Structure 1
Amino acid sequence: MKGFCMMRMTTCRFTGIVVMLLLLMISMVSSSLAQDEAGALFTTVGDGPVVEFGPRGEWDGRYTDPGAVTYHDGQFYMFRNGFQSWPASVQVGYLTSDDGINWTEVTEEPVFTTDEVDYAGTAMLASSAEVRDDGTWALYFYTWERPAFRGAGGAIGLATADDPLGPWTPLPEAILSPGSRGEWDETQLAAPSVVRTDTGYVMYYTGYDSRNRQSIGMATSEDGITWTKYDDPTTTEAPFAESDPVLIPAEEWEAEAVHQPRVVKTDDGWVMIYRSPGPGRGMMRLGLATSEDGINWTKSADNPIFAPDDLPNGNTMWFTALTHVDDTFYLYVEGSDTAGVPDTSIYVATYTGDLVGD
């Protein structure tokens, strides 16, 4: 009888251990599924790029990114950047689409080039576009002054045209420039995203400080030409004496940079997709932030919401563009799907629903 009881107790202990292991495995699987669900907020369309880089030797023969994408009168328009190396001269191509997925190149030649911007330095990159009430097309771009990866310098400019095919005429000077020495945006401005509102325009942009720390700033304008940086009156000392960022790197995955804001205003509120390089080279990830007023932003608890692994055979991920049409967000991503090959093309991922409420 004693032996039977001992055997029963051993069996019970063994059964308990098995149950605990099963519960642990279920918990791990559930956690993994939750992480996968968070990372799959946007669904990549198809198993390849929607726009590919050009033939070898051409202006876009190695890299292309989505630059500026806008929707007007029932059609999508893309002003993509093409280049053969980086940092180097960049040219802008022009494509159209009826559905945001299948794109047609309107002309094989670029419609706007770095050489047309006197103050561009090394490069000029398209970043945001819109059509004014009078039919004028506006293309916001940023410059890369020196052929360097850090401390290159650069500002934000504007070009206009009567037709997206051009000719494009850049304003003779930048419309937004870096701050004074010691400010949070003292060395370089980049990647403007311009949103039209009932009272004018709002621009979100990347600002670089002297240590290459990158934050996201905001500026407002009545006419889209003359801009005023957002300035919190309660911050009077450098680096926030002249203006203030509206989003700063604070999470571990963001390392020392939140940059490249892509912003749209919906009926539910403001939506921003931003990029962070992570702790190492090639670790680019995308984050989501939402706002009720365009100034105070809340980062998603599920960040990062998109990574290179979310692309087909994802290897690297760089520039993005975002547009919102009929309750669907279209996220365009520059990426390479072949390990060891640095050529980049353009992919698209979508999300239908309310990102502000989610």
Structure 2
Amino acid sequence: MKFYALLLSAFLLSATTTTAQQFVMKYGDTSRKGLPYSKDPHVVSFKGRYLMYFSIPPFANNPASGWNIGIAESKDLVQWNKVGEIRPAAGAAYEQKGLCAPGAIVRNDTVHLFYQTYGNGKNDAICHAWSADGLTFTRNSSNPIFHPTGSWTSGRAIDAEVAFFNNKYFLYFATRDTAMKIQMIGVATAPAHTNFNRDQWKQAAGKPILYPQLDWEGECIEGASIIERGNRLFMFYAGAYNNAPQQIGLAVSEDGINWQRLSQQPFLPNGKPGEWNSSESGHPHIFDDKDGRTYLFYQGNNDKGRTWLLTQEEVFWDGKSFKRKG
């Protein structure tokens, strides 16, 4: 226990100074396990503050509590304070076993949250809720709003990411093959005027749009995060299952459906032995700040998933693609 007391004292400082001008974010919620444990970050700028939505595990003394969603706020994208949780809603039977992997967009004065159910195997699906304050959410009465169909998929849908492009909304999701072995990315679309209800989403491809092919991707591609540059979409994605190690790749598309990898190597690899993310750098979220700077949030750990921390680093657009510092 002495070791983990030291670990907590190190990481509960959600930022550490590395130089006079450079700060490194490390955030881990300790409320569920007594150890830092946060996954699947997604950040929005909303009403004068940054809000980060992330997955939190069941309580250590109550496994039946299931995965839920935590909410933290920040003024600087470095120091984060937890301000809320999203737990299963009364009457929402579809999410009683758990909900997690949030993805959010801000439309007008409303945060729209897209998340997955958890604990239902092939029946896990994408759900939608909205909020005027970013903290308290109203569920979509048509939930779950999406799961894929066809002989290429098991029907499961997780890791929702919604992006507006070419006057429509694209919903990216991870699914598995019928044997529940290979994880891959699919896509659905909805019109610009959508209310995000179930009947608005149409599957845009009868096959995966990105499938694990490279050695480092193993049997899994998941956690798509989308950003637009120069009338093209760029996808940061997680390759390989957790701690395999999972690493982050980058792909590009002209139409949001057909994708091409930009490198055979990870855009952001796991850390070296002894580093905080030696077990993985995974589940990316690319965030465009209001000042024009861009940050890549992701999760990592160095103990094969006993703990999980969230961090971010600034990435740079060179007119053709994104680059890391140095």
TM-score, normalisation: structure 2: 0.77
SS of structure 1 residue aligned to 2:70: strand
Counterpart residue number, 2:201 = 227
Q: Higher strand fraction: Structure 1 or Structure 2?
A: 2
* Identity percentage of aligned residues: 21
| Cα distance in 1, alignment partners of residues 159 and 45 from structure 2 | 19
Once the two structures are superposed, residues 114-139 of structure 1 have per-residue CA deviations (whole angstroms, 9 ceiling, x without a partner) of: 35542025321142111222x22210
Counterpart residue number, 2:99 = 124
How far off its partner does 1:159 sit? 0.8
Counterpart residue number, 1:98 = 75
2:134 matched to 1:145? no
Label 1:355 to 1:67 Cα distance change in 2 as closer, same or farther (>3 A): farther
| Cα distance in 2, alignment partners of residues 56 and 203 from structure 1 | 30
2:55 matched to 1:81? yes
Which residue of the other structure, out of 250, 254, 268, is the alignment partner of 1:306? Answer: 268
How far off its partner does 1:273 sit? 0.8
How far off its partner does 1:98 sit? 3.1
Counterpart residue number, 2:251 = 289
Counterpart residue number, 2:131 = 161
2:312 matched to 1:343? no
How far off its partner does 1:208 sit? 0.9
Q: Give the gaps of 5 or more residues in structure 1.
A: 1-44, 232-242
Label 1:122 to 1:152 Cα distance change in 2 as closer, same or farther (>3 A): farther
Which residue of the other structure, out of 181, 185, 193, is the alignment partner of 1:216? Answer: 185
Label 1:52 to 1:204 Cα distance change in 2 as closer, same or farther (>3 A): same
Whether the 8 Å CA contact 1:126–1:139 is kept in 2: the answer is no
SS of structure 1 residue aligned to 2:95: coil
Label 1:312 to 1:97 Cα distance change in 2 as closer, same or farther (>3 A): farther
Relative CO higher for 1 or 2, CA cutoff 8 Å, sep ≥ 6? 1
How far off its partner does 1:340 sit? 6.2
Whether the 8 Å CA contact 1:270–1:356 is kept in 2: the answer is no
SS of structure 2 residue aligned to 1:308: coil
2:298 matched to 1:324? no
Label 1:127 to 1:341 Cα distance change in 2 as closer, same or farther (>3 A): closer
Label 1:314 to 1:57 Cα distance change in 2 as closer, same or farther (>3 A): closer
| Cα distance in 2, alignment partners of residues 350 and 87 from structure 1 | 38
Whether the 8 Å CA contact 1:81–1:125 is kept in 2: the answer is yes
Label 1:139 to 1:172 Cα distance change in 2 as closer, same or farther (>3 A): same
Label 1:101 to 1:66 Cα distance change in 2 as closer, same or farther (>3 A): farther
Counterpart residue number, 2:37 = 63
Once the two structures are superposed, residues 221-268 of structure 1 have per-residue CA deviations (whole angstroms, 9 ceiling, x without a partner) of: 12133211113xxxxxxxxxxx22221222222222222211112335
Label 1:162 to 1:257 Cα distance change in 2 as closer, same or farther (>3 A): same
Kindly provide the amino acid, as one letter, of the partner of residue 177 in structure 1.
H
How far off its partner does 1:95 sit? 2.1
Q: Tell which structure's C-alpha radius of gyration is larger.
A: 1
| Cα distance in 2, alignment partners of residues 88 and 185 from structure 1 | 29
Whether the 8 Å CA contact 2:41–2:310 is kept in 1: the answer is no
Task: Report the aligned-residue RMSD.
Answer: 3.0
| Cα distance in 1, alignment partners of residues 71 and 243 from structure 2 | 30
Say how many residue pairs are matched: 289
Q: Higher helix fraction: Structure 1 or Structure 2?
A: 1
Label 1:216 to 1:356 Cα distance change in 2 as closer, same or farther (>3 A): farther
Counterpart residue number, 1:201 = 169
Label 1:207 to 1:71 Cα distance change in 2 as closer, same or farther (>3 A): same
| Cα distance in 2, alignment partners of residues 169 and 269 from structure 1 | 32
| Cα distance in 1, alignment partners of residues 64 and 299 from structure 2 | 16
Kindly provide the amino acid, as one letter, of the partner of residue 290 in structure 1.
V
SS of structure 1 residue aligned to 2:209: strand
Whether the 8 Å CA contact 1:160–1:169 is kept in 2: the answer is yes
Whether the 8 Å CA contact 2:174–2:184 is kept in 1: the answer is yes
Counterpart residue number, 1:269 = 232
Whether the 8 Å CA contact 1:290–1:356 is kept in 2: the answer is no
How far off its partner does 1:51 sit? 1.6
TM-score, normalisation: structure 1: 0.71
SS of structure 1 residue aligned to 2:94: coil
| Cα distance in 2, alignment partners of residues 230 and 213 from structure 1 | 20
| Cα distance in 2, alignment partners of residues 340 and 63 from structure 1 | 12
Whether the 8 Å CA contact 2:222–2:283 is kept in 1: the answer is no
Counterpart residue number, 2:317 = 353
| Cα distance in 2, alignment partners of residues 145 and 355 from structure 1 | 42
How far off its partner does 1:160 sit? 1.2
